[in-house]
């Protein structure tokens, strides 16, 4: 099985798992540095603004912490599905569903205190994301539908039903004077707004950190986690040794969807305070890049999310140089492309090292 | 009622070409065994470079050529990673989408100082003489040449795939590459050729958005059409005529949504436009789940070819 071996090499654990991602990110930074230079702008100033814009002030740290928490959660979503060998391209849809539930419960339900309101919303959004992801798991387990196709379809079903129907139709905010629909859902109650630490830092950050550590512990030290990894290594072998592959597949996809759903809730409760008319912005697709750049490891995803959280928060400062604020997303995309091209990187490393066995070892490890 | 049908037919002919061409790109790539999730990115490259070349030369036909080339460059990168280096095809396609998304945004800003280009010349419209007074048929007149290219392309691809030796080699490589190689077929050669064709088609589909459907590139393009094309490919069971039918059906659903919104406003309360937008994906999912027929991907789709493995 050629492809299985390759998948393991790509996604399996490796002693050198940090090497390829770090080199890929550095190479992507270098390519984009040259790209700025080629357009006649000053790349040194650009990069200084980009990193400074993400770290320079308390306000910048607030934006960085928000982006880091969202990227961490969608990255974890993808990484968790990878643990059982499934490719979750559906984080975007799971995030949208979670965000909708958060926006709805944020104003339709008013228990009077944030201590009850926020946890209930977060749990409900996680459950909604988990439920949406479970459809893909069910299709996989019961109907043999490849999860790549089903999660892509589920993304667009969620996006269109939520953004072109629910948010502009049944759940649209009505202004008090007339029956005219305003863009987006009604504002959430004050008790649903995520508190900010030190005035700026979003509460999503500790939540995302907690999830990363919790999932790391789950995968590394629990029986369930061991079974998930066993399925990821070889679902046939796992089945033969008595692991309930279907049940664990549901668990992995549900947890993956829960992470993405939480990301959606944090965006609503912490930033938008409603489900706005224009919302879905590709954070789910970013999760794929974050997970792979992070070696499909929960803590690796956290690191990758922190790095890209910083430069993406700093992206707005690039506008001072007439560079589009989405420039850091290009760096992220290139880094993913280079991770996809890691066979080339490993080949080059082998040549540089001048010792073929070492390179072979690095691939097989 | 007749007017409504004519309006839907006419706007289907305007909407469908980009989806049909990209879906055919998906079919040819996946029939040879290379998964292509990068259609969206290739379309974006095609749309941007077509507009840029048209602005530079004044000729939208040169623009179409440039768009096809740009799609092909993206496809060759995908093919090189997947065929030469046996990279993960799903990751490579998604990475291509993200790079095209960010890269084109960067280029538009650098070249035009905005997120859109200026207005371009567009591909001419083909007026069929004598149809103006014929009910129903008059809806066929006055469409871009792209509409007719998109009608011819699926038939050509069908004939090549099922009626020529080359086409049968492509199918063999996508189903049983080892067996094809035993018979002297170059698996890598066929796959490179098919991925290249896929990029040319998706690039042309993207180009049709910026120099035919609209008269400029704007930064939302292709707005998920690459994924609709992907759904059409699956819904059409990985065949050229099937993908064409599915693309036309999805485009008609979109045309229905727009025509209904303007001609019968109250219909929006009965059938929200979100339903019609989600319909292609929902139907594709139901088909895959076996609730409406059955679709099967080519056996070697997504499996890198390793000559040493039997």
The string of DSSP letters for A291-317 reads HHHTTT-HHHHHHHHHHHHHHHHHGGG
User: What is the count of residue pairs from A and B with beta carbons less than 8 Å apart?
Assistant: 158
B298 min Cα distance to partner chain A (Å)? 13
B142 touches chain A (CB under 8 A): no
A333 touches chain B (CB under 8 A): yes
CA gap A257, B258 in Å, rounded? 33
Q: Given this model, what pLDDT does residue A309 score?
A: 93
Q: Given this model, what pLDDT does residue A3 score?
A: 43
B234 touches chain A (CB under 8 A): yes
* CB within 8 Å: B106 and A329: no
A165 touches chain B (CB under 8 A): yes
* CB within 8 Å: B234 and A341: no
User: Which residues of chain B are modeled with pLDDT < 70?
Assistant: 265, 267-269, 291-295, 310
Q: Given this model, what pLDDT does residue A15 score?
A: 55
Overall pTM > 0.95: no
Q: Given this model, what pLDDT does residue A362 score?
A: 45
- Write out chain A residues lying below 8 Å of B297, CB-based: 146
CA gap B249, B237 in Å, rounded? 14
Q: Given this model, what pLDDT does residue A1 score?
A: 32
B269 min Cα distance to partner chain A (Å)? 9
Q: Given this model, what pLDDT does residue B294 score?
A: 64
Q: How far apart are the first and last CA of chain B?
A: 60
- Write out chain B residues lying below 8 Å of A34, CB-based: none
Query: Using alpha carbons only, what angle is made at residue A65 by residues A64 and A70, rounded to the nearest 5 degrees?
Result: 100
Question: Which of residues 87 through 126 in chain B touch A, CB cutoff 8 A?
Answer: 87-88, 90-92, 94-99, 101-103, 105-106, 108-110, 113, 115
> Which tokens in the block code for residue B262?
């303007």
What is the pLDDT tens value at each position of chain A, 365 positions in all? 334 444 454 444 455 667 888 999 999 999 999 999 998 888 998 899 899 888 888 888 888 999 999 999 999 999 999 999 899 999 999 999 999 999 999 888 888 787 888 899 999 999 999 999 999 999 998 888 888 889 999 999 999 999 888 888 788 877 655 555 557 888 887 777 888 777 778 788 999 999 999 999 999 899 888 989 988 888 888 888 888 889 999 999 999 999 999 999 999 998 888 888 878 678 988 999 999 999 889 999 999 999 999 999 998 888 888 888 889 999 999 999 999 888 888 888 878 776 544 444 444 43
* CB within 8 Å: B282 and A326: no
Of A10, A164, A282, nearest to B273 by CB-CB distance is A164
Closest by CA to A142, choosing from A249, A7, A231, is: A249
All residues at 6 or more sequence positions from A340 whose CB lies less than 8 Å from its CB, including other chains? A292, B81, B87, B88, B91, B92, B95
A324 touches chain B (CB under 8 A): yes
A29 touches chain B (CB under 8 A): no
Residue A306: is it exposed, middle or buried by C-beta count within 10 angstroms (0-12/13-18/19+)? buried
* CB within 8 Å: B91 and A288: yes
> Which tokens in the block code for residue B125?
């419209």
* CB within 8 Å: B110 and A285: no
All residues at 6 or more sequence positions from B244 whose CB lies less than 8 Å from its CB, including other chains? B20, B23, B24, B154, B236
B178 touches chain A (CB under 8 A): no
A122 min Cα distance to partner chain B (Å)? 26
- Write out chain B residues lying below 8 Å of A143, CB-based: 288-290
CA gap B124, B130 in Å, rounded? 19
């Amino acid at each position: 099985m050629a492809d299985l071996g390759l998948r393991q090499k790509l996604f399996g654990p490796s002693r050198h798992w940090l090497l390829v991602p770090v080199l890929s990110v550095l190479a992507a930074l270098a390519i984009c540095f040259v790209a700025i230079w080629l357009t006649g702008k000053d790349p040194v100033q650009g990069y200084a603004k980009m990193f400074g814009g993400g770290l320079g002030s308390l306000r910048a740290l607030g934006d960085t912490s928000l982006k880091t928490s969202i990227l961490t959660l969608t990255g974890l979503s993808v990484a968790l599905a990878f643990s059982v060998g499934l490719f979750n391209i559906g984080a975007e849809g799971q995030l949208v569903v979670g965000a909708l539930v958060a926006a709805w419960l944020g104003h339709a339900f008013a228990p009077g205190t944030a201590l009850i309101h926020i946890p209930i919303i977060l749990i409900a959004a996680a459950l909604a994301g988990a439920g949406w992801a479970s459809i893909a798991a069910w299709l996989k387990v019961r109907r043999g539908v490849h999860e790549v196709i089903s999660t892509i379809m589920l993304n667009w079903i969620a996006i269109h039903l939520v953004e072109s129907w629910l948010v502009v139709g049944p759940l649209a905010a009505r202004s008090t004077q007339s029956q005219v629909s305003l863009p987006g859902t009604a504002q959430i109650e004050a008790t649903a707004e995520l508190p900010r630490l030190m005035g700026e830092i979003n509460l999503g950050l500790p939540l995302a950190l907690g999830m990363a550590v919790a999932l790391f512990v789950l995968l590394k030290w629990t029986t369930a986690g061991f079974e998930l990894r066993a399925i990821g290594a070889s679902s046939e072998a796992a089945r033969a040794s008595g692991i309930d592959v279907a049940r664990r597949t549901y668990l992995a996809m549900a947890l993956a969807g829960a992470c993405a759903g939480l990301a959606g809730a944090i965006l609503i409760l912490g930033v938008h305070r409603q489900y706005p008319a224009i919302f879905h912005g590709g954070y789910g697709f970013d999760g794929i890049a974050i997970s792979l750049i992070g070696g499909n490891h929960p803590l690796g995803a956290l690191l990758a999310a922190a790095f890209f959280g910083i430069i993406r928060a700093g992206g707005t400062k690039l506008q001072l140089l007439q560079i589009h604020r989405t420039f850091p997303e290009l760096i992220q995309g290139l880094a993913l492309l280079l991770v996809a091209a890691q066979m080339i990187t490993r080949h080059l490393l082998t040549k540089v090292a001048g010792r073929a066995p070492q390179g072979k070892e690095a691939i097989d490890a | 009622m007749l007017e409504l049908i004519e309006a839907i037919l006419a706007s289907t002919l305007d909407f469908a070409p980009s989806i049909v061409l990209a879906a055919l790109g998906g079919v040819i790539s996946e029939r040879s065994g290379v998964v292509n999730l990068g259609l969206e990115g290739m379309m974006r490259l095609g749309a941007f470079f077509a507009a840029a070349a048209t602005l530079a030369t004044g000729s939208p036909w040169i623009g179409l050529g440039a768009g096809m080339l740009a799609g092909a460059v993206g496809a060759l990168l995908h093919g090189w990673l997947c065929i030469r280096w046996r990279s993960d095809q799903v990751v490579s396609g998604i990475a291509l989408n993200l790079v095209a998304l960010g890269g084109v945004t960067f280029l538009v800003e650098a070249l035009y100082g905005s997120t859109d280009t200026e207005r371009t010349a567009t591909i001419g419209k083909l007026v069929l003489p004598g149809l103006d007074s014929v009910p129903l048929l008059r809806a066929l007149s006055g469409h871009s040449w792209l509409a007719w290219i998109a009608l011819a392309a699926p038939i050509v691809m069908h004939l090549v795939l099922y009626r020529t030796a080359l086409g049968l080699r492509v199918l063999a490589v996508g189903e049983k590459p080892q067996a094809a190689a035993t018979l002297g077929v170059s698996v890598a050669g066929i796959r490179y050729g098919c991925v290249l064709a896929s990029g040319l088609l998706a690039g042309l589909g993207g180009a049709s958005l910026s120099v035919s459907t609209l008269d400029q590139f704007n930064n939302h393009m292709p707005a998920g059409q690459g994924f609709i094309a992907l759904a059409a490919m699956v819904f059409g069971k990985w065949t050229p005529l099937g993908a064409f039918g599915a693309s036309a059906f999805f485009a008609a659903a979109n045309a229905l949504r727009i025509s209904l919104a303007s001609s019968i406003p109250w219909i929006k309360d009965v059938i929200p436009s979100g339903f019609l937008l989600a319909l292609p994906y929902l139907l594709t999912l139901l088909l895959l789940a076996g609730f409406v027929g059955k679709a099967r991907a080519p056996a070697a789709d997504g499996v890198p070819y390793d000559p040493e493995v039997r």
